[in-house]
């Protein structure tokens, strides 16, 4: 298995610099309608960062000189700050989660808005980018869509990057991605060793062909990334998956309890794919210290998944039209 992963790394891991913008534009022109690109930013109270990301994409990838991206959509998950107004002012199309498939009450979670974004976008290549990134580089988009434009055998591309941990005024190089190292990487190595070569399996920056995404179930919460990676492996095979080095990722870090809830959701997503069974106890107990000692707090572990978008009547009707 190690040899298989090593061969895959040689064939399907690249630097973003390998494909210059000029080559991507030429490939996009040759591809015609199959080369249309939609960028989706899921957002919940990201007023501090979403505007700069939108401005960078529009300036560097949506100009008359560089028309790489055709559509830029911010999927708002019910923000209570100025996320929507700032994103719209910066030039994005803002779509509110509840306005897509209104017959289905929205569930909380990142995967929910990514799933609904398939009905809110039209590109044949869909790129997802987290909206809490700082010092955003346009290569986070051009890098992950590049292989999809230039190699018809590639179906899904994950970004890989250095991920420093920046907290309390200190920086720990490569200290970020704690849930990846403690939960996701051990799970993948033990149960899906073909995926062991992915540097950032939980990273929120990735692109895929619509024809693949519409076949996949979407866990509604933080399990969406690991679920999508596993399901893509089972659907199209390892050689259709790739990763691209886009540099350094700077973003907001969550506290340890939030990471614990994320880890539980990811474990549950993996467990479901291993056994297609149910957790005996789909909740997570964490502890807060107060004046009386440690107080338990119980959190539900997200168990819902949305079905493949191809099975949704509204989507099938739009596709047929």
Q: What are the pLDDT digits (tens) for 165-197?
A: 666 555 445 544 678 888 988 888 888 888 988
Per-residue model confidence (pLDDT) at position 164: 74
Residues 114/38, Cβ–Cβ less than 8 Å: no
- Write down the pTM of the prediction: 0.87
Report CA-CA distances (Å) from 200 to 56, 114, 204, 251: 23, 18, 9, 14
Mean pLDDT of 79-108: 97
Q: Distance (Å, rounded) from C-alpha 206 to C-alpha 74?
A: 15
Q: Distance (Å, rounded) from C-alpha 262 to C-alpha 278?
A: 18
Give, in degrees to the nearest 5, the angle at Cα 30 between 216 and 35: 25
Which of 4-8, 19-23, 49-53, 306-310 has the least mean pLDDT? 4-8
- Domain 2-320, CATH: 3.90.550.10
Per-residue model confidence (pLDDT) at position 279: 43
Strands (E), 77-197: 93-96, 125-128, 133-134, 156-162, 165-167, 170-172
Q: What are the pLDDT digits (tens) for 283-299?
A: 666 657 677 665 667 77
Q: How confident is the model at residue 239 (pLDDT cuts 50, 70, 90)?
A: very high
Can you give the residue ranges of every domain in the chain? 2-320
> Token digits for 224?
């969406």
Report CA-CA distances (Å) from 125 to 44, 206, 214: 23, 11, 11
């Amino acid at each position: 298995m190690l040899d298989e992963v090593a061969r895959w790394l040689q064939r399907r891991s690249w630097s973003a610099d390998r494909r210059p913008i000029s080559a991507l534009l030429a490939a996009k022109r040759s591809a015609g309608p199959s080369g249309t690109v939609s960028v989706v930013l899921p957002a919940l109270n990201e007023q501090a960062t979403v505007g700069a990301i939108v401005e960078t994409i529009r300036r560097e990838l949506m100009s008359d000189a560089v028309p790489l991206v055709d559509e830029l959509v911010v999927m708002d998950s019910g923000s209570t700050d100025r996320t929507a107004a700032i994103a719209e002012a910066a030039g994005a199309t803002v779509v509110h989660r509840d306005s897509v498939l209104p017959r289905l009450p929205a569930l909380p979670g990142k995967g929910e808005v990514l799933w609904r974004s398939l009905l809110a976008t039209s590109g044949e290549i869909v790129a997802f980018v987290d909206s809490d990134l700082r010092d955003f580089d346009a290569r986070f988009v051009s890098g992950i869509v590049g292989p999809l434009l230039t190699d018809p055998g590639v179906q899904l591309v994950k970004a890989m990057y250095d991920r420093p941990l920046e907290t309390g005024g200190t920086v720990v190089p490569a200290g970020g991605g704690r849930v990846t190292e403690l939960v996701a990487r051990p799970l993948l190595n033990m149960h899906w060793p073909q995926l062991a070569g992915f540097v950032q399996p939980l990273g929120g920056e990735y692109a895929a062909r619509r024809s693949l995404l519409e076949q996949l179930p979407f866990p509604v919460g933080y399990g969406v990334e690991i679920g999508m990676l596993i399901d893509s492996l089972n659907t199209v095979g390892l050689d259709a998956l790739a990763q691209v080095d886009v540099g350094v990722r700077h973003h907001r870090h969550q506290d340890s309890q939030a990471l614990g809830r994320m880890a539980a959701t990811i474990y549950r997503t993996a467990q479901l794919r291993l056994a297609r069974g149910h957790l005996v106890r789909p909740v997570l107990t964490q502890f807060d210290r107060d004046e009386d000692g440690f107080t338990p707090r119980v959190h539900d572990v997200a168990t819902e998944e949305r079905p493949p978008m191809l099975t949704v009547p509204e989507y099938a009707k739009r596709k047929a039209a």
